[in-house]
Amino acid sequence: MQSSVDPTDQSSNRDLLIAETLEQSVFFELVRAASRLEGELNRALRSYDLTTATYAILSILERGGAEGLSCGDVAGQLIAEVPDMTRLLDRLERLEYVSRERSAHDRRMVRVKLTERGREVVQNLKGVVSECHRTQFKVLPAERLENLRQLLKEVVKGPAGGVVREGSGGRDSSRQVAMG
């Protein structure tokens, strides 16, 4: 007799997303781990009305100096692609954590600067973020953690991700996709 699995049954320990290759299995585990870790950090940042992406922007701006950075420079420093940088900066500006001003030399250039309030928030959160990461990785001894870091750096330095085919007006064009 064949048994059926109720996909809505959360009590089942059975993994229905089964990898077909070792590489796919590693990919699934990385995505699961990243999702869980990011969710935990987002919960730690929630009381400041921040997310992992907005906190990363504030941290980048803090290290960028008093003169601020262009939006492109900030985006280039982020660890993950952000689909709508303008929306995130609007949010940070509403919270009075950043300010934006047009360059006097090139009106197309907008510089983003950390406000005093933003600087205070980053300083206040450094301990919270560090403790969150310490808790997340306490299961790994320092040597294994360093090994994991090195392995992930090798993966990131490797060849670009898969090719996605996109049809546009009858043409078949391809582009590289960075998974993240």
pLDDT digits (tens, 9 = 90+) for 84-100: 888 999 999 999 999 99
The crossing angle, in degrees rounded to 10, of helices 52-64 and 116-136 is 120
pTM of the model: 0.74
Find where tokens 């996605």 sit. 164
Mean pLDDT computed over 71-85: 87
Cα–Cα distance measured from residue 164 to residue 173, given in angstroms and rounded to the nearest whole number = 9
pLDDT at residue 84 in the model = 86
* CATH number given to 22-139: 1.10.10.10
User: Which amino acid does the sequence have at 89?
Assistant: L
Q: Which of 40-49, 70-79, 105-114 has the lowest mean pLDDT?
A: 105-114
CA atoms within 13 A on the CB side of 56: 18
Give 152-178 pLDDT, tens digit per residue.
Answer: 999 988 886 554 444 434 433 333 333
* C-alpha to C-alpha distance for 145 and 85, rounded to whole angstroms: 31
Instruction: Determine the pLDDT at residue 9.
Output: 52
Higher-confidence position of 166 and 26: 26
Instruction: Give the Cα-Cα-Cα angle 57, 49, 131 (nearest 5 degrees).
Output: 75
HSE, side-chain direction, 13 A CA sphere, residue 93:
12
Q: Which residue has the tokens 């089942």?
A: 12
Q: Is 26's pLDDT higher than 80?
A: yes
What band does 11 get if pLDDT is binned at 50, 70 and 90? low
pLDDT over threshold 70, residue 106: yes
Residues 62, 121 contacting (CB under 8 angstroms) = no
